[in-house]
Structure formats: C-alpha cells, structure tokens
C-alpha cells in the first residue's frame, strides 16, 4: 500500500478520536478524567483482537468446513435419496453473512447502541439454527436453518466486531484484519476433523446439537470484549457520511474482482472431500485436505495482511489470483492421487485464502478516493460483493456437475465429473485480478 493511501484513513480516525476526547473532557466536571484506550496496541486492543479471532473462528469456521457435511449428507439418509441442493446449504450461510451488512449498516449508523447490544443475540440464534437443523428431514429445511438462520445469527455478532476493529487499529490495520481473519483458518483446521469424528460416531442430529452448545459456551465470555473504542455518543453525533465511494471506479473494479473470486473460491472447500472419495480415498483423507486448505490460510491471512500495509492492494491481489489459478490448473486438474491433492490444498489455501486480507487495502484505497465514506457502510458493500459470488457458487457448481461436459474427454482430474468445475474455479481465480488491470489503466 502506498503511503498516501493510509493518510486519509489515519486522518479520519484521528479526527474521530479527537472529537471523542473533546466530548469526554467537556463532560468531566473537573477537567479531563478519562482517556481513550490506546489504539494499535495495549492490553485493551489486544484483548479486543483476541476476542475477534475466536468469534471469527466460531462464526466462519463452521460453514467453511461444510465440505464434511456435504460428503455426509450426500451419502446418508434422509438426504442421500434426494441430494439436490445440498451444496446450497453452505453457500447460503456464507453468502447471507457477507450480504446482510447492506441492510444492517444503516441501522447501526442510525442507532449505534444497537450494534453494541445486538451482538449478544448472535450466538443464541446460531445455536438455535443448528438445533433446528438437527430435526430436518429434507434439504430445504437445512437451507433455512443451517444455512439462512445460522447466517443471521453469525452476522449480528460478527459485523459489529468488524466495524469496531476500525477504531482499535489504525496504522496496523492490515495486520489486525489478517490476525482476525486467520481465525477462520485455525477453526478450519480443527472443525473438519471434529465434525468428521462426531458425524461418524453420533450422526448429524447429535453433532449439530453438540456444536450449538459449543458455540454458546465459548462465545459467551468473549462478547464483552467486542466493544467500541470510541464512546458511542461521539460516533452517533459525528457527521453523516455519504455513499460517494459508489461513484469511484476504484470501488467497482475492486468489488467486481472480489465477486468473481468468491464465485469460485468456495468450490474446493465444498467438493474436495467428495472429489477425494471419487478417487477411492477415505472420508478422513477428504477431511485432511480441507484442513490443509484452512491451515495454509492461517499463514497467508497474517502474511498478506502485513503485505497490504506495505504495497498497493492490487499487487497483493495479483499475487493471490495467479497463485490460486496455477494451483488449480496444475495440481487439482492434473491430480489422480493423494500427493498432488495435498500440494494443491496447501497452495490453494495459501493464495486463495490470503485474498480475504486484501480487504484492508480495499478500505484504504476507497477512503483515499472519498474521505467521507463511513467504514460500516463500506464494509457492508464489500462483504455484499463477496456474498453475491458465494450465493451464486452453490447452484452454479451443481449445474456444472450435472452437465459433466468434460467427463472422459480429458486426463486425470479433468476427465472426472469435476473437470468442468475445476476449470471454472481456475478461471474465476485468474479473472479476480481485474483490479490490477484497472490500476494499470489509472482507474484504481
């Protein structure tokens, strides 16, 4: 990221901090008695970030491990006899969580206290969704519960944390977002094995109920630390910020690239265990491959987050896009055995998994173009761009599988029923670098 990209964001955060400090001093009867917690460090900031890391893991780790459920539901009753739509369960959950910020952000802007209070309802709603899903006998009910209702609960605890992080970290924003988003990778390393064991031993009904209890038990002590750094009164009295960023070419190039990337990004996480089974590998191997993707994402989220603080975001996007596309075409497409699949999982997890950390650079570039941008609104629109691709990837991927256009017309992974799906995933990963082209043309 170039230095000027961070100036606008730092100035805006500084102005908000100065306003908050002035209000505290004016309200004190005998002069200033309080001071704002330290930004970019200090006990409070790191406790907040630690809570964000765990909440991120709980909220996103479960749907990002959906490939284990995809394999289980498609081979066990009562869903195996009519498996159509199973992939939509996972993409519905991720898609809604990405997109729900668009209606929520204006609500949080108008009633800032609501953002700080609604977070307490998130984990109970997530737990209720999984308990409801445990009684399902048809895929459509799983889509409503494990998909949609889970996403609503996850969103109202996750979005406030994402918004508040902008107050706690200013100059080290990329690193902070990278650490937070690494929570998904850590959870993705642990949860698939946990779900695989529970599903094999107890079935999906008991497994979902156990995980509902886990969500509430772990998240409840942490919700307190997901609090804003600035007094809510100062935020609610700050000038209303517009939607001027929607008129900038930078926003649209970055958003289009993000939507295209997400259209294919979730496909390996959903279908890799099933692909492994088609090669005669055990369900445990499929779970291991999913865990490798998520584990590599832990390293890349932190690393790419640090890189975004130092170079222009489109450079990082190009690195992630090219690396992900090459891993798909060279290793997934040409795989017919476990070693190549392991290499693919590691490389894809590293490059595709690190794409999420480019959001911090996205924020900086857009705010450089329009300093009046409200962070909550911007985050909502960025997440919506990713959500559009996430929701569409479910039915699109099932359409590719139903067609089986390349079966027996190519070699190795390309000749399987997943051949056209592999090509589609690779193309979306490569085209996601469109914003790098936009920068070369002077539009980003």
Token match 């307190």: residue? Answer: 224
- Lowest-pLDDT choice from 14-18, 85-89, 139-143, 182-186: 14-18
CB of 29 closer than 8 Å to CB of 190: no
Euclidean distance between CA atoms 379 and 118, whole angstroms: 18
Q: Give the pLDDT score at 237.
A: 42
Please write the tens of the pLDDT for every residue from 176-218: 887 887 888 788 788 988 998 999 999 999 999 999 999 999 9
Burial of 408 (0-12, 13-18, 19+ CB in 10 A): exposed
Q: Could you tell me how many residues make up the chain?
A: 444
Please write the tens of the pLDDT for every residue from 219-272: 989 998 988 888 765 444 444 456 788 888 989 999 999 999 999 998 998 888
Region of 416 please: left (phi>0), alpha (psi -120 to 50) or beta: beta
Q: Helices then strands (H, E): number in the chain?
A: 20, 0
Please write the tens of the pLDDT for every residue from 264-311: 998 998 888 888 888 888 888 988 998 899 888 888 878 887 888 889
Q: Give the pLDDT score at 403.
A: 66
Domains, in order of start, for the chain: 3-28+36-440 (1.20.1250.20)
């Amino acid at each position: 990221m170039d230095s000027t990209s961070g100036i606008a964001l730092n100035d805006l955060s500084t102005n908000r901090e100065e306003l908050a400090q002035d209000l505290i001093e004016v309200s004190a009867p005998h002069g200033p008695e309080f001071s704002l917690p330290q930004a970019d460090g200090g006990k409070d900031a790191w406790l907040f970030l630690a809570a964000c890391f765990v909440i991120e893991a709980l909220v996103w780790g479960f749907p990002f491990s959906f490939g284990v459920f995809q394999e289980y539901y498609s081979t066990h009753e009562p869903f195996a006899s009519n498996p159509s739509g199973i992939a939509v369960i996972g993409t519905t959950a991720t898609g809604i969580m990405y997109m729900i910020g668009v209606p929520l952000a204006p609500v949080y802007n108008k009633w800032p206290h609501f953002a700080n209070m609604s977070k307490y309802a998130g984990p109970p709603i997530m737990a209720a969704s999984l308990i409801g899903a445990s009684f399902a006998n048809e895929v459509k009910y799983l889509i409503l519960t494990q998909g949609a209702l889970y996403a609503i609960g996850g969103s109202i605890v996750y979005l406030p944390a994402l918004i508040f992080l902008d107050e706690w970290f200013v100059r080290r924003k990329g690193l902070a977002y990278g650490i937070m988003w690494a929570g998904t990778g850590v959870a993705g390393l642990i949860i698939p094995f946990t779900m695989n064991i529970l599903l094999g031993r107890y079935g999906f009904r008991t497994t979902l109920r156990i995980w509902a209890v886990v969500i509430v038990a772990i998240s409840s002590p942490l919700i307190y630390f997901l609090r804003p750094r600035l007094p809510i009164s100062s935020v609610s009295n700050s000038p209303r910020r517009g939607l001027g960023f929607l008129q900038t070419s930078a926003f649209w190039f970055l958003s289009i690239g993000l939507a295209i990337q997400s259209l294919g990004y979730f496909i390996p996480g959903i279908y890799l265990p099933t692909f492994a089974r088609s090669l005669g590998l055990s369900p445990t191997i499929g779970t291991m491959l999913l865990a490798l993707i998520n584990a590599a994402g832990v390293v890349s989220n932190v690393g790419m987050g640090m890189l975004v603080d130092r170079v222009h975001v489109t450079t990082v996007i190009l690195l992630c896009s090219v690396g992900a596309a090459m891993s798909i075409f060279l290793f997934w497409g040409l795989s017919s055995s476990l070693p190549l699949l392991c290499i693919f999982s590691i490389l894809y997890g590293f490059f595709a998994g690190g794409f999420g950390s480019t959001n911090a650079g996205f924020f900086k570039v857009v705010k450089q173009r329009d300093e009046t941008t409200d962070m909550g609104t911007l985050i909502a629109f960025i997440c919506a761009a990713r959500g559009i691709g996430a929701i569409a990837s479910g039915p699109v991927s099932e359409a590719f599988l139903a067609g089986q256009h390349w079966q027996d017309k190519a070699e190795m992974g390309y000749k399987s029923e997943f051949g056209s799906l592999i090509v589609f995933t690779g193309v979306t990963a490569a085209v996601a670098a469109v914003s790098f082209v936009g920068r070369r043309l002077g539009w980003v």
